Amino acid sequence: MNKLQQKMIIPFASRLNRLTKIFKLRNLEEELELANSYLSIALKSTECGKWNWHMFSDEVDFSPNAQAILGYEKKEILLKYKLFLNMIHPEDKASFLYEIEKHKSGVTDYVSVDIRMKSAYGYWNWINMRGKIVEFDRNGLPLIFAGINYDINEQKQYDNDVAKLQKKVIKSGDKKYIKKESITHINQDLDNYSKFRLNGLRNLLN
């Protein structure tokens, strides 16, 4: 290859390389937009809502669905992380923070924890909170924690009903009331119900 050919080919190869990178970036942006669309559809079709913890500014933004689950006006809000923590039941706050720290230190791939959050009506709403750190700075420090809140009040009510029924059976000792096998079936039905309701959600952040 002579010098003239090199002068012609090298700039062309450089431009081709830049164009290839641009096309790859556009494809990634299109894939991300599509993924966000699918996620939005999934969130609208289930009792869940997304939120993001901006760890540098220590602020949390709630999606309209995340707000609606707790009975608040269906609109996006931004609040300080400290206020967000105050919405969590005092008995559940330690377990939530523990799971967050485990994830930040790399022990777990994502966070999954059941907590109670204060609703607009004053009562405590059971939430399955799942999330993971999705963005880091150039030094490897976490920037954004993306989460999804899932309303599990109904599931928890089933848990309580089964527990009360078990206690009543044990206390009564009356075999005519209900057989032990029936308790097993109730637990299995509850477990299957929980897996069915949360199956799609478990894959969103993995």
* Least trusted range by pLDDT, from 58-62, 108-112, 113-117, 173-177: 173-177
In a domain, 104, yes or no: yes
| Both structure tokens of 16 | 């081709």
Query: Alpha carbon of 1 to those of 7, 10, 12, 15, 16: distances in Å?
Result: 10, 11, 15, 20, 19
Q: Which domain holds residue 165?
A: 156-194
Higher pLDDT, 77 or 37: 77
Is residue 57 over pLDDT 90? yes
Q: Are residues 32 and 128 in the same domain?
A: no
Q: Are residues 107 and 135 in the same domain?
A: yes
* Least trusted range by pLDDT, from 40-49, 55-64, 92-101: 40-49
In a domain, 144, yes or no: yes
Q: Are residues 112 and 167 in the same domain?
A: no
| Of 8-22, 70-84, 187-201, highest mean pLDDT | 70-84
Is residue 147 over pLDDT 60? yes
- Residues near 184 by beta carbon (within 8 Å), at least 6 away in sequence: none
Q: Are residues 51 and 147 in the same domain?
A: yes
> 21: pLDDT confidence band, cut at 50, 70 and 90?
low
In a domain, 160, yes or no: yes
For residues 38 and 30, the answer to whether their CB atoms sit within 8 Å is no
Q: Are residues 40 and 68 in the same domain?
A: no
Q: Are residues 58 and 139 in the same domain?
A: yes
Q: Are residues 4 and 84 in the same domain?
A: no
Q: Are residues 15 and 28 in the same domain?
A: yes
Q: Cβ of 115: how many Cβ atoms within 10 Å? A: 21
Phi, psi of 77 (to 5 degrees): -130, 160
Percentage of the chain with pLDDT > 70? 59
pLDDT tens, residue by residue, 91-145: 999 999 999 999 999 999 999 999 999 999 999 999 999 999 999 999 989 999 9
> 14: pLDDT confidence band, cut at 50, 70 and 90?
low
Q: Are residues 33 and 88 in the same domain?
A: no
CA distance 48 to 191: 19
